[in-house]
Structure 1
Amino acid sequence: MTPRGWAWPAGSAAAAALLAVLVVWPQAFGMAGVYGPAQVVALRGLTVVAGGAAAVGVAVLALVVRPARWPLAAVAGVVAVATVFSAGVLWSRGVWSDRITSAASSTSGEGEVQVLAFNTLYDGAGPEVVAGLITTYGADVVVLPETSAETTSRAATLAGGGFQVFHHQVDAGITSATGLLVATSLGTYGEPRPDPSGGLGSFTVRPEPGSDGPPITAVHAWPPTGDAMARWRDDTVWAVRRCKGAEGSIVAGDFNATLDHPALRSLAPCADAAAERDAAAVGTWPATWPWWAGAPIDHVLADARAWEVVSFSVLGAAGGSDHRPVLAVLRPAG
């Protein structure tokens, strides 16, 4: 092939490479927080499957369409490399969610805290489902985005009491309502301090003087929709700062963001519980999709100077919610 003849395959490969990088690693262009790339990279598992199918399809097409064989072969090669790279990212983050069937089946050490986060989808899961999760897994901290005050309080009662009940709602919509239960064994907590950026019911509670429990933040970030990207970025940054800014913090809930998105790219001195347990590629939304296809957007963050992650589990779909509950077990470090 003449040098001029190579121009078409080279140009096709270059264009495919630019698009592939934008899909599998938009961070390279500073676009992981931009509408479009942010949504695509959140579904990395789907892009791996789609990329593999596309690479095979284009390779077969290259064998059939002789005039365009080299350009198509170049594109197939680029897509294959990008797919392998993205699969490697998933593998490195981990697909091995810890399996905990009940509180009785898990070892519980002194000082351990069980953190449950569950977006109940417009209050739809109901207090019975929430209470069942609490009692089954022995949760000490329960974060409930999209949950009414009534459901939050009723779930605490059905779970046997022993919780301080907190709730914050930004407006009349249930989407902006977030509940939080904190076991009284962790101490006494003061009134909620809401997210000043106007997030969907996110807030922080701190222990009262004389109590040594950890600061706890319940998170529900705006989703990254076309008209709310700035709010989404502000909410996720605020949530991560809550973890970084107070010693011993625990921050949990629906971040509507994965580890590919800007706010979660740099967490130190905090840690993502799923990443610590090689489960950060296990999808939590939507609950009806296979775990490998969904987006891991529900998180438990903890100050790694104060907490060690014992386990992290993505639980089965519950109560018709579009989110899977997540459960992290933390114990004091050192």
Structure 2
Amino acid sequence: MGSPPGTGADVPAAPTSTRPRRRLPIALVAGVAVLTVPDLLGIDRITPLAQVVSLRPYLLVGVAALVLALCGLAWRTRRALLPAAALAVVLVLGVVVTVPRTQPGPPPAGGRALTVLTVNALDGAADVAGLAELVRRERPDLGALVEVGPWYRERLAPLVEPLGYRIVTAVGTDSDGVTDVFGVSALVAAHLGDVTVDVDETRPFPTVIIGGGGLGATRFVAYHAVAPRPGDVAQWSTDLGELTRYCAGGTPAIVAGDFNATLDHSRLREVTAGCADAAAQLGRGLAPTWPSWLPTFLGAQIDHVLVTPPIAAEDLALHEVAGSDHRAVVVRLRLPG
């Protein structure tokens, strides 16, 4: 005898919706892709992606671990296969963009040697004696001294001028007249002779351009860009755009300083298309220069020395400078002729 009407005994159970379960892996893959390869998606110039993309080498480690975990889960459920494959594609894209910076190119053949120093003195907080000792020990021909204004210069000059150097200092449009943060200075060895000096003070951070003398047709540019903090990304992009005049200007150039960008930023790659990064040339393109209080294998490489071919790097070293949160970069270059 059948069940009485209305008891629901013969009514099949409603199917359980799988949409939430399907949406979860889709959201996971999309989120990881946005965080890991925003530059390839054309969205790394907005906050917070403009900041996060500089951490890509470390994000790739996390993505690799996630892919392995999903592959292990795929033994139990096939649902893990598709997100694992999609994340593997994201991983490969990130690796393809990043790994070439770890592969050294051929060493430069011949040419004359030139040593370049770049260091951010952290609003003049870097130890003056320590920086002077670094100059004495490494004997750079040229240096980009970032966040070094007139006040820090007054303390540093008496220590390095007896070593055979002079310092050219400029301040930007946002200078308050009492701090060094908006100052940029160029350290110039006396043996370079009668060099020319050009200063651009139209941006928040100025640019100092050294040419002539022993440099011949080559220009040396001491450079600083604002950081891509929320609210400053537009100015950061504008600052980086200034690099085009040196990398694509047709004149041999060396640009050194704090770029506040890594080669993971599409904007930096775009505006430096005619330049080579010295660290990347040497397979050191992931060596962190900031923040220096982290272990030497952690951080972002935002301090650079860029060169136009055929200028090439033959050696690079990073140095701790007390009082600064940036590591100083010393690069030995080879110039043609």
- Equivalent residue for 1:176? 182
- Equivalent residue for 2:133? 132
Moved more, 234-243 or 273-282: 234-243
- Equivalent residue for 2:312? 308
Offset of 1:29 from its aligned partner?
A: 2.2
Deviations 1:114-163 (A, max 9, x none): 11100011211132111111122121111111123243354344233322
- Equivalent residue for 1:200? 205
C-alpha change, 1:291 and 1:41, in structure 2 (3 Å) is: farther
Deviations 1:47-97 (A, max 9, x none): 12333454566677888xx8xx5555644554455345434543321188x
Amino acid at match of 1:201: P
Offset of 1:8 from its aligned partner?
A: 6.7
**Matches of 2:289 and 2:149 in 1, distance apart?**
21
SS at structure 1 position matched to 2:304: strand
The correspondence for 1:45, drawn from 57, 63, 79, is: 57
1:119-158 matches, cutoff 5 A: 119-158=120-159
RMSD: 3.2
Moved more, 17-26 or 177-186: 17-26
Does structure 2 retain, via aligned residues, the 8 Å contact 1:46–1:292? no
State whether structure 2 residue 273 is matched by structure 1 residue 261.
Answer: no
C-alpha change, 1:161 and 1:260, in structure 2 (3 Å) is: same
Percent of aligned positions that are identical: 30
Offset of 1:333 from its aligned partner?
A: 2.6
Offset of 1:205 from its aligned partner?
A: 3.0
Offset of 1:278 from its aligned partner?
A: 1.1
- Equivalent residue for 2:167? 165
SS at structure 1 position matched to 2:63: helix
- Equivalent residue for 2:277? 272
Amino acid at match of 2:171: Q
**Matches of 2:99 and 2:181 in 1, distance apart?**
33
Moved more, 134-143 or 199-208: 199-208
Moved more, 45-54 or 212-221: 45-54
Moved more, 51-60 or 279-288: 51-60
**Matches of 2:244 and 2:323 in 1, distance apart?**
29
C-alpha change, 1:195 and 1:230, in structure 2 (3 Å) is: farther
C-alpha change, 1:136 and 1:37, in structure 2 (3 Å) is: same
Offset of 1:312 from its aligned partner?
A: 2.4
**Matches of 2:297 and 2:116 in 1, distance apart?**
23
C-alpha change, 1:253 and 1:88, in structure 2 (3 Å) is: same
Does structure 2 retain, via aligned residues, the 8 Å contact 1:43–1:293? no
The correspondence for 2:36, drawn from 11, 24, 34, is: 24
- Equivalent residue for 1:103? none
Q: TM-score if structure 2 supplies the norm length? A: 0.80
The correspondence for 1:215, drawn from 219, 222, 246, is: 219
C-alpha change, 1:234 and 1:54, in structure 2 (3 Å) is: same
State whether structure 2 residue 94 is matched by structure 1 residue 86.
Answer: yes
Unaligned runs of 5+ residues in structure 1 are 97-108
C-alpha change, 1:234 and 1:216, in structure 2 (3 Å) is: same
Does structure 1 retain, via aligned residues, the 8 Å contact 2:197–2:208? no
- Equivalent residue for 1:104? none
Offset of 1:200 from its aligned partner?
A: 1.8
**Matches of 2:158 and 2:130 in 1, distance apart?**
13
State whether structure 2 residue 303 is matched by structure 1 residue 295.
Answer: no
| Structure with larger Rg | 2
The correspondence for 1:187, drawn from 176, 189, 193, is: 193
- Equivalent residue for 1:36? 48
Does structure 1 retain, via aligned residues, the 8 Å contact 2:54–2:264? yes
**Matches of 2:116 and 2:50 in 1, distance apart?**
27
**Matches of 1:184 and 1:111 in 2, distance apart?**
17
The aligned length equals 313
- Equivalent residue for 2:332? 329
**Matches of 1:282 and 1:57 in 2, distance apart?**
28
Does structure 1 retain, via aligned residues, the 8 Å contact 2:185–2:208? no
Offset of 1:260 from its aligned partner?
A: 2.1
- Equivalent residue for 2:228? 224
**Matches of 2:84 and 2:22 in 1, distance apart?**
12
C-alpha change, 1:8 and 1:333, in structure 2 (3 Å) is: farther
SS at structure 1 position matched to 2:39: helix
Q: TM-score if structure 1 supplies the norm length? A: 0.81
SS at structure 2 position matched to 1:27: coil
SS at structure 2 position matched to 1:250: strand
Offset of 1:268 from its aligned partner?
A: 3.9
Deviations 1:238-293 (A, max 9, x none): 03422332512111000001112233214343211111111111111111223443
SS at structure 2 position matched to 1:91: helix
C-alpha change, 1:81 and 1:8, in structure 2 (3 Å) is: farther
